[in-house]
Structure 1
């Protein structure tokens, strides 16, 4: 399964998602914000296969985290989660590394299935 870096600022959501992904067989490191995510990526470039990040976070948001992560590791797959349907990448800007967006609320099975699809895409 995949080695995943999860960036989510909501403690309970972060724990919930990490447990679900761990149960599905993934190796998950969870961080509380974009700054911690950048630190984790910088400490071990190439260690993660997937960045799963909330879009709206204080400080370094998920989009900025993804852009900078894609510069650190060009092979890193990226998946966004958001509770704000109106939040989107600016028109005309390419999503880093062909990112997928999953809108909250979602079922955990949907998350696990989408992660599997992202990881299967070559």
Structure 2
């Protein structure tokens, strides 16, 4: 079982984003803000990494191939219930029903957003 994030510095982010350019922008912005970011292009690969290493935040797109962000977040919460979760999505109207409810206390940031807003929201979530 991985080490719980509460025993880690609050700087490790697991990013799952299928858009290559968006993923690159997010990594650069978060690394510039002194976060350690490990990025993947789909939820399946991110989940495999999460099973082996601890993170303090899961930052994930909702709509992705192989495993969507909600399923990734649900499985990640089973591995580490203390993991903070933030969704980023261009689909503000994504319908969440009882079958695809995200974990409680997850935050949603709708695209488009300014990278400064993303960093501010990540800082706020990790400080909570």
Could you state the TM-score of these two structures normalised by the residue count of structure 2? 0.87
How many residue pairs get matched? 119
- For residues 66-101 of structure 1, what are the alpha-carbon distances to aligned partners after superposition, in whole Å with 9 as ceiling and x for unaligned? 000000111100000000111142269753141000
Query: C-alpha distance in 1, partners of 2:68/2:108?
Result: 14
Shift of 1:2: 1.5
**Unpaired stretches in structure 1, ≥5 consecutive residues:** none
Q: What residue is the counterpart of 2:88 in the other structure?
A: 81
**Unpaired stretches in structure 2, ≥5 consecutive residues:** 1-9
Could you state the TM-score of these two structures normalised by the residue count of structure 1? 0.91
RMSD across aligned C-alpha pairs, in angstroms?
1.6
1:25 aligns with 2:26: no
Q: Please identify runs of 4+ aligned residues in structure 1 that moved more than 6 A.
A: none
SS of the residue 1:111 aligns to: helix
Query: C-alpha distance in 1, partners of 2:99/2:18?
Result: 28
Q: Structure 1 residues 60, 76: closer, same or farther in 2, change over 3 A?
A: same
Q: Is the 8 A contact 2:57 2:85 kept in 1?
A: yes
